[in-house]
Structure 1
Amino acid sequence: MSKTPAALQQFDIVIIGGAMAGASLALGLAKLNQQRKLQHLPCLSVALIEAHQADDSHPGFDARSIAIAHGSIFELTRLGIWPKLAHLGTAISDIHVSDRGHFGMTELNAEPLGLSALGQVVELAKVGQVLFSELQQADISLFCPAKLASLTAKADGHYLELDDGSQLSAKLLVAADGANSVVRQQLKLAAEQIDFGQSAIVANVETDKPHQHWAYERFTETGPIALLPMANMASSNPSSSNKARLSLVWAVSPDKAEQLKNISENDFLQQLQLAFGNRAGRFMAVGQRVTYPLTLTRMTQPIYHRCVFVGNAAQTLHPIAGQGFNLGLRDVVSLIEVIEQQLAQHLHGDVKADVGNSQVVHQYLASRQQDRTRTMNNIEFLVRGFSNQHWPLVAGRNIGLRLLSWLPPLKRPVAQVAMGWR
């Protein structure tokens, strides 16, 4: 007996990928729908397709931690998302930046800027659980677990078939499916990739003194070492209050990364101590170690016919300044703003707004051009400028760090960039 084809489900917007960027977009659009309901205006039909359940096996919600910048906290609050996540955050009040073996160092501090924190650190696995709980209650259609099997672009939208046989159509398709975007592959679109010749070893470490909400960025000859403050695990041992958990990202050569991943815990801690120094205390323990290749992947134009790319699907950054999610969130916010503008043009009249037309897609592109270019160029400059021992660059970067310490007014524009203020 032949199988009856699934009925076509039609949506204004279909989002592929439900990790941080895709989930934030879906929840932001759900909030927009709530506002439109209160105004008795037509709502958008939104679908989110996600291949994985929100657990430790989800590649977007694994054991890593990320720093959410102050500007991103503001945007997530506007989208109604941060109040659901705030209890998971550990504040960053101060950032110490140094160049190993040289005189350059500086600090960025929240207090002189009139802020309680420069940002918040969250564990992705815990965030994923909260976001998926919110998605299940939101005014969207959630297909999970489900994968995109085929994609056909037509004049009035995109037609999608999922691996479970579901058939969908979208006026606007949003690719939020990561660095190896299936949407980008299906549409045969190119992405430039820059290999920095580095891999990151990522792990949680424990030190023998409280972190007091300090984060650290230490540049070494092989690449940067970043340490982010984390909440301590619940413990009945009183002595644990004198220790601290920190999230480690350590950039080294690929061969060195594999070695560090496989050596004993004691040997790893000794090598980390030697590379980082004692500013954060003595490293006492390390959790599971995972390695990732470090590249910069970018689409020159993150758009296509009735399709836009956001987050890591549009650009994947080196973690040197912790800007990956923060840049991706600005993609999400800009797209929502462009969609709102398109809807505002159709407050009166019988024709429903087409949120996938050429005007929407190109307005999104224009809104992201300057920020994307500046951020990616800055990241590439930092990686190349701080991961070598060429003496003119060594002298220049150390003088620059010292100037920030000697001339505090210079710190404000640097802090504004680091905090993602638009």
Structure 2
Amino acid sequence: MTNTNRPSQEKLHVDVAIVGGAMTGAILALALAQLSTHTRNKTNKKGQPLKIALIEAQRPNNGHPGFDARSIAIAHQSIFELTQLGIWPKLAHLGTPITHIHVSDRGHFGMTELNSEHFHLPYLGQVVELDAVGHSLFQLLDNSDVQLFCPATLEHVDTHPDKQSLMLTDGRQIDAALVIAADGIHSKVRQSMNLPLEQVDFKQTAVVANIHTRKPHQHWAYERFTQNGPLALLPLTSHQGQNRLSLVWALSDQEATRLLDAPKSVFIDELQQAFGFRAGEFIDVGQRSSYPLMLSSMRRPIYHRTLFIGNAAQTLHPIAGQGFNLGLRDLVSVIKILKSAIAQEQDLGSAQVVHDYLACRVKDRDSTLEHIEFLVRGFSNQHWPLVLGRDLGLRLLSWFPPLKMPIAKTAMGWKS
């Protein structure tokens, strides 16, 4: 592994340059490094493994926006994909299994449950804390063949017929046959190329915190729809003997601002009132943070010799916990397309490769984006016919368990 930190006017030529080293970008870099060696060994092709560069502004720490205090749920299918990539076995010790999911509509009769045993599985998903995952991923990167540019920031991209030239703010230049943008909703790659981003502002803010509870969570996750928006609680590993849950609470911008500044006792009391006591008594709350909630997407997450993945291509409302899981499916598609291109000795940045990726992602992206917007609109609306309809739907899932299969497939990331 080359950790390239010294400014230089010398150009570096690579096969693939990944911009953005948070979850999606770091995992992709590690997976591609393994893929290139494995593919060449398996097919007995001569030549060197792929040259892969990863550009990231900072290493994981308390201020890293991609490896902050949030936790995310990784779906069952995503765990399978990460295992296939050889990544999950190195992160598994950081995961907390979800074996039960409880979904309810506050103030109404709608509720249902999902149970991993019903599907003959050990879990429905795993919860990881991003800060801990970030440190583990960068330890793996430090011992890989990935050329890591960190700290490094992209200034702009110059487009050429046979390459993309990435100009860094310190004067260094990286020429790449293929650029993969994994640099988030404010993607510098996308901005440099003047590509449009469609956005739907839900006029909500997510308040995020770790909650300490009186009783153990027993691997239950909760999704509760309230008048202000959905409230999710995910199980976490105990810390210093404390039982912990990860909270994501969607609120109006005004309510979020008020509760972020409220005394702990006020915050805990209002959270308990909104959620109830199904998870037991809430006794403490950690540091609170927030981020705006919106749905954003690129109509075509490609450009000349460039692919967009994860939050650079689309961002989701956290209502169903599908953001990272959709980004991981982007990543898996990239690997599938590049594996084929390597085997056929294609130009990795060719129009054929770029459009193969687009074709591979259209159906899944469109259906997921439509599904998330439908859920947000449907469960945020208090018009009584909609309330009655969604509560009857949730109850039907409880009364007729076979109806749960489509919901379970979505929760676990299974695709037909």
Letter in 2 for 1:113: F
Work out the CA distance in 2 between the residues paired with 1:201 and 1:11.
40
Q: Is 2:120 the partner of 1:114?
A: yes
Q: Which residues in structure 2 correspond to 1:301-320 (within 5 Å)?
A: 301-320=300-319
Q: Is 2:193 the partner of 1:187?
A: yes
> What are the superposed Cα offsets for residues 69-128 of structure 1, whole Å, 9 maximum, x if unpaired?
000000111111101100000000000000000000000110010100000000000000
Determine which of 74, 77, 84 is the counterpart of 1:78: 84
Q: Which residues in structure 2 correspond to 1:103-252 (within 5 Å)?
A: 103-235=109-241, 240=242, 244-252=243-251
Contact 2:39/2:343 (CA < 8 Å) preserved in 1?
no
SS in 1 for 2:299: coil
Corresponding position of 2:370: 377
SS in 2 for 1:107: strand
SS in 2 for 1:66: strand
Q: Compute the RMSD of aligned alpha carbons.
A: 1.1
Corresponding position of 1:61: 67
Corresponding position of 1:325: 324
Determine which of 13, 22, 36 is the counterpart of 1:33: 36
Contact 1:8/1:169 (CA < 8 Å) preserved in 2?
yes
Q: Which residues in structure 2 correspond to 1:288-367 (within 5 Å)?
A: 288-346=287-345, 353-367=346-360
SS in 1 for 2:53: strand
1:5 positional shift? 6.5
SS in 2 for 1:59: coil
SS in 1 for 2:170: coil
Work out the CA distance in 2 between the residues paired with 1:385 and 1:215.
21
Q: Which residues in structure 2 correspond to 1:39-50 (within 5 Å)?
A: 39=42, 40-41=44-45, 42=47, 43-50=49-56
Work out the CA distance in 1 between the residues paired with 2:28 and 2:286.
32
Contact 2:177/2:347 (CA < 8 Å) preserved in 1?
yes
Corresponding position of 1:416: 409
1:36 positional shift? 3.0
Equivalenced residue count is 406
Identity score, percent: 60
> What are the superposed Cα offsets for residues 149-185 of structure 1, whole Å, 9 maximum, x if unpaired?
1210110010111122211101100000001100010
SS in 1 for 2:391: helix
> What are the superposed Cα offsets for residues 171-228 of structure 1, whole Å, 9 maximum, x if unpaired?
1000000011000100000000100011010000011111000000000111000000
SS in 1 for 2:152: coil
Q: Which residues in structure 2 correspond to 1:82-93 (within 5 Å)?
A: 82-93=88-99
Corresponding position of 1:281: 280
Work out the CA distance in 1 between the residues paired with 2:189 and 2:217.
42
Corresponding position of 1:52: 58
> What are the superposed Cα offsets for residues 252-301 of structure 1, whole Å, 9 maximum, x if unpaired?
10010000000100010000011001101011000001011100110011
Work out the CA distance in 2 between the residues paired with 1:405 and 1:338.
41
Work out the CA distance in 1 between the residues paired with 2:309 and 2:142.
22
Corresponding position of 1:266: 265
1:369 positional shift? 0.4
SS in 1 for 2:91: helix
1:38 positional shift? 3.0
Work out the CA distance in 2 between the residues paired with 1:5 and 1:413.
54
Contact 2:39/2:339 (CA < 8 Å) preserved in 1?
no
1:37 positional shift? 4.7
Q: Structure 1: where are the runs of 5+ without partners?
A: 347-352
SS in 2 for 1:279: coil
Work out the CA distance in 1 between the residues paired with 2:62 and 2:362.
34
Work out the CA distance in 2 between the residues paired with 1:306 and 1:61.
28
Contact 1:19/1:128 (CA < 8 Å) preserved in 2?
yes
Contact 2:106/2:224 (CA < 8 Å) preserved in 1?
yes
Per the alignment, do residues 45 and 5 of structure 1 end up closer, same or farther by CA in structure 2, a change over 3 Å counting?
Answer: closer
Q: Structure 2: where are the runs of 5+ without partners?
A: 1-6
Q: Is 2:101 the partner of 1:102?
A: no
Work out the CA distance in 1 between the residues paired with 2:50 and 2:410.
34
Contact 1:311/1:328 (CA < 8 Å) preserved in 2?
yes
Corresponding position of 2:392: 399
Work out the CA distance in 1 between the residues paired with 2:367 and 2:39.
35
> What are the superposed Cα offsets for residues 16-58 of structure 1, whole Å, 9 maximum, x if unpaired?
0000110111011011023135334342111000001111211
Q: Is 2:8 the partner of 1:9?
A: no
Normalising by structure 1, we get a TM-score of: 0.95
Work out the CA distance in 2 between the residues paired with 1:267 and 1:27.
44
Q: Larger deviation: 38-47 or 205-214?
A: 38-47
> What are the superposed Cα offsets for residues 277-328 of structure 1, whole Å, 9 maximum, x if unpaired?
1101011000001011100110011000110100000000000010000000
